[in-house]
Amino acid sequence: MASKLHLETALTPDGWRHDLVATIEHGIIARLEPADATNDAVRASGVVLPGLPNLHSHAFQRAMAGLTEHRGSGGEADSFWSWRELMYRFVARLSPDDLEAIAAFAYMEMLEAGFTWVAEFHYLHHQPDGRPYDNIAEMSERIVAAADTSGIGLTLLPVLYRHSGFLGKPTSDAQRRFLNDRDSYARLMETRVPGGNIGIAPHSLRAVTLNDLEWAARTFQGKPAHIHISEQTREVEDCLAAHRKRPVDLLFDTIPVDERWCLVHATHADQNEIARIAQAKAVVGLCPITEANLGDGLFDVPALLAAGGRFGIGSDSLVRISAADELRTLEYGQRLIRRQRNVLAVARRSTGRLLLDGALKGGAQAVDRPIGAIAVGQRADFVVLQDDGYRDDAVLDHWLFTADNAAIKTVYRGGIPVVQQGRHRDRDAIVARYRKSLVGINIAT
x/- map, 303-342, Zn ion, by CB under 5 A: -------------x--------------------------
Least separation in angstroms between CB 62 and ligand NGQ: 12
Give 116 or 204: the residue with its C-beta nearer to ligand NGQ: 204
Cα 139 to Cα 188: distance, rounded to the nearest angstrom:
10
Give the one entry of Zn ion, ligand NGQ, none that residue 84 binds, where binding means its C-beta sits below a cut-off of 5 to 8 angstroms depending on kind.
ligand NGQ
Which of ligand NGQ, Zn ion, none is residue 290 near (CB under 5 to 8 Å by kind)?
Answer: ligand NGQ
Q: What are phi and psi of 129, to 5 degrees?
A: -90, 5
- SS3 of 340-406: the string is CCCCCCCCCCCHHHHHHHHHHHHHHHHHCCCCCCCCCCCECCEEEECCCCCCCHHHHHHHHHHHHHH
Tell the smallest beta-carbon distance from residue 314 to Zn ion (Å): 8
Residue 24 has phi, psi (to 5 degrees) of -115, 125
Cβ distance to Zn ion smaller for residue 291 or 393: 291
* Binding partner at 231 among ligand NGQ, Zn ion, none, C-beta below 5 to 8 Å by kind: ligand NGQ
Report how many residues bind Zn ion under the rule CB under 5 A: 1
Residue nearest to ligand NGQ (CB): 58
Nearest CA-CA partner of 415 in 384, 385, 380: 380
- Active-site residue 226, yes or no? no
Q: Which is nearer to ligand NGQ, 267 or 378 (CB)?
A: 267
Residue 64 contacts residue 90 (beta carbons within 8 Å):
yes
- Cβ neighbours for 364, distance < 8 A, ≥ 6 positions apart: 53, 370, 371, 372, 373
Contacts 24+ apart (CB under 8 A), 169-176: 169/206, 173/130, 174/85, 174/88, 174/89, 174/91, 174/92, 175/88, 176/126, 176/129, 176/130
Smallest gap from Cβ 154 to Zn ion, in A, equals 16
For residue 315, which of 94, 142, 82, 121 has the smallest C-alpha distance?
121
Name the minimum Å distance from CB 240 to ligand NGQ: 18
270 labelled catalytic? no
We find the least distance from the C-beta atom of residue 285 to ligand NGQ, in angstroms, to be 11
Residue 241 CB, shortest distance to Zn ion, in Å, is 23
Q: Which residues bind ligand NGQ (CB under 6 A)?
A: 58, 84, 204, 228, 231, 290, 294, 316-317
DSSP type of residue 60 = G
Q: Closest CB to ligand NGQ among 23 and 204? A: 204
122, 125, 226, 265: the active-site residue = 265
Give, rounded to a whole angstrom, the gap between the first and last alpha carbons of the chain.
51
State whether the Cα torsion 103-145-260-306 is positive or negative: negative
Neighbours of 124 (CB within 10 A): 20
Please, which residue, 34 or 295, has the CB nearer to ligand NGQ? 295
How many residues are given for the chain? 445
Q: Which of 98, 238, 296, 316 is catalytic?
A: 316
Which residue, 228, 342, 352, is CA-closest to 290? 228
313, HSE (Cβ side, Cα atoms, 13 Å): 31
Which residue, 228 or 320, has its beta carbon nearer to ligand NGQ?
228
In the complex with ligand NGQ, the residue whose CB is nearer, 29 or 266, is 266
Q: How many CB atoms lie within 10 A of CB 351?
A: 23
How many angstroms separate the CA atoms of 26 and 307, rounded? 38
Smallest separation, CB 157 to Zn ion (Å): 10
Q: What share of the chain is helix, strand, coil (3-state, %, to 5)?
A: 40, 25, 35
Residues with a catalytic annotation lie at: 265, 316
Which residues of the shown chain bind Zn ion in the complex (CB under 5 A)?
A: 316
